[in-house]
């Protein structure tokens, strides 16, 4: 699994700018129109998401942090000693820091993130806080195959840490397929620690994604600003607005950018005509029941061990083994 040694001094970037162009054109050519949520996290998008996490309506981050903080020692005991911790989309690393502080003699930490600026910053901070821990950052789209760096010290087993409820961005059948790929990363006797947003009252959910400060709207619209900046598109951001709804039949939040008027957008040699009220889907966020997510992970080969939650059962941190 750890095929090649990568330079540990700085993040290794394997992102290709052409992917953004091809994905945007494919998404806007589809029916319904879409834009991939993985492109939210350029430097500005990552900074906006950090602000979202601090908003009162957005319960997800603070609830997950509280769960980790209250149960850190029990979680660490389940994960074991001398582990290789592979963090997928760990961002600024706030939650990972809580985890690493509780672990007993971890062998290596491998953060994998699409935001290069944030990855560089968190890596520098972690190397200062944990000077004896080997840290091997990888800047890539973890939805695609990537090479895992080889650490200096052999670990007892691999633990993949996937925080923040990002698994909700996958439709159930796609989530199973992605979890199978994670199982390959975990390897024999490995484990998965994963954050999952749980089903709850729709008003709580819709308030979290349509918060009153409007930061989520800026975060969503930043996708269009990024297309303008990097692809030469001509989206008029004043002619689009953000809206999120909870689809109770599918059990998911759906986040949209909605055209205010009839308009035409150019990207390179392509043109896209939008009707007034036409929507671009930018994100799904599925919400799960504890039993339903355990069954989903079981279909990918994982065995449920434990779930830690808050008193209101807003969020769950699940631990699975192979």
Residues forming a β-bridge with 283: 255
Residue 279 in domain = no
Render 27-66 in DSSP notation, one character per residue: HHHSSSEE--GGGG-SHHHHHHHHHHTTSTT-HHHHHHHH
Residue 237 in domain = no
Query: Given pLDDT bands bounded at 50, 70 and 90, which one contains residue 114?
Result: confident
SS3 208: helix
Q: How many CB atoms lie within 10 A of CB 245?
A: 15
Question: What pLDDT is attached to residue 1?
Answer: 33
Tens-digit pLDDT profile for residues 188-232? 999 999 999 999 999 999 999 999 999 999 999 999 999 999 999
Report the alpha-carbon distance of residue 187 to residue 199 in Å, rounded. Answer: 30
Alpha-carbon 261 to chain mean position: 32
H/E element holding 206?
helix 202-209
Residue 266 in domain = no
H/E element holding 141?
none
What is the residue whose two structure tokens read 């729709």? 202
Residue 7 in domain = no
Q: How many domains is the chain partitioned into structurally?
A: 1
Render 224-287 in DSSP notation, one character per residue: HHHHHHHH-----GGGEEEEEEEETTTTEEEEEEEESS-EEEEETTEEEEE-TT-EEEEEEEE-
Tens-digit pLDDT profile for residues 162-198? 999 999 999 999 999 999 999 999 999 999 999 999 9
* Nearest C-alpha neighbor of 186 from the set 29, 306, 303, 278: 303
Task: Enter the tokens of residue 299.
Answer: 């279909």
* DSSP 8-state class, residue 150: P
Looking at residue 93, which CATH number applies to its domain?
3.40.50.150
Asked whether residue 84 carries a pLDDT value surpassing 60, the answer given is: yes
Half-sphere exposure for 25 (CA within 13 Å, toward CB): 13
φ and ψ of 230, to 5 deg:
-95, -25
Tens-digit pLDDT profile for residues 2-41? 332 223 333 444 445 578 999 999 999 999 999 999 999 9
Helix (DSSP H) and strand (DSSP E) numbers for the chain: 9, 15
Task: Enter the tokens of residue 212.
Answer: 């009153």
Please provide the size of the chain in residues: 322
Residue 262 in domain = no
Half-sphere exposure for 37 (CA within 13 Å, toward CB): 16
Residue 65 in domain = yes
Question: What pLDDT is attached to residue 91?
Answer: 87
Report the alpha-carbon distance of residue 216 to residue 307 in Å, rounded. Answer: 29
Our CA dihedral for 255, 259, 263, 264, rounded to 10 degrees, sits at 0
Residue 9 in domain = no
Question: What pLDDT is attached to residue 17?
Answer: 56
- Let me know: does 294 contact 304? Beta carbons within 8 Å: yes
Question: What pLDDT is attached to residue 8?
Answer: 34
Domain that holds residue 117: 56-200+288-321
Q: How many CB atoms lie within 10 A of CB 311?
A: 6
Our CA dihedral for 227, 229, 234, 239, rounded to 10 degrees, sits at 70
Higher per-residue confidence, 8 vs 248: 248
What is the residue whose two structure tokens read 């055209």? 259
């Amino acid at each position: 699994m750890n095929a090649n040694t990568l330079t540990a001094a700085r993040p290794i970037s394997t992102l290709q700018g052409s992917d953004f162009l091809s994905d945007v054109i494919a998404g806007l050519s589809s029916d319904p129109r879409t834009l991939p949520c993985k492109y939210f996290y350029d430097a500005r998008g990552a900074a906006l998401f950090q602000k979202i996490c601090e908003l009162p309506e957005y319960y997800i981050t603070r609830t997950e942090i509280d769960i980790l903080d209250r149960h850190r020692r029990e979680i660490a005991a389940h994960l074991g000693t001398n582990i290789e911790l592979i963090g997928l989309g760990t961002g600024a690393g706030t939650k990972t820091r809580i985890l690493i502080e509780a672990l007993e003699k971890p062998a290596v930490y491998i953060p994998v993130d699409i935001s290069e600026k944030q990855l560089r910053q968190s890596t520098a901070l972690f190397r200062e806080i944990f000077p004896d821990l080997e840290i091997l950052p990888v800047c890539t789209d973890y939805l695609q195959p990537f090479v895992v760096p080889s650490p200096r010290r052999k670990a007892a087993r691999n633990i993949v840490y996937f925080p923040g409820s990002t698994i909700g961005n996958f439709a159930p059948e796609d989530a199973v397929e992605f979890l199978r790929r994670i199982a390959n990363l975990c390897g024999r006797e490995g484990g998965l620690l994963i954050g999952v947003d749980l089903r709850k009252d729709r008003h709580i959910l819709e308030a979290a994604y349509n918060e009153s400060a409007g930061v989520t709207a800026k975060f969503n619209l930043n996708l269009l600003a990024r297309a303008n900046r990097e692809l030469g598109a001509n989206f008029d951001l004043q002619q689009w607005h953000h809206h999120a709804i909870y689809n109770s039949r599918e059990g998911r939040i759906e986040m949209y950018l909605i055209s205010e008027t009839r308009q035409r957008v150019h990207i390179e040699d392509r043109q896209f005509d939008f009707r007034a009220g036409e929507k671009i889907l930018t994100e799904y966020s599925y919400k799960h029941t504890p039993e339903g997510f355990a069954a989903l992970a079981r279909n990918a080969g994982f065995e449920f061990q434990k779930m830690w939650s808050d008193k209101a059962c807003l969020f769950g941190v699940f631990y699975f083994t192979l």
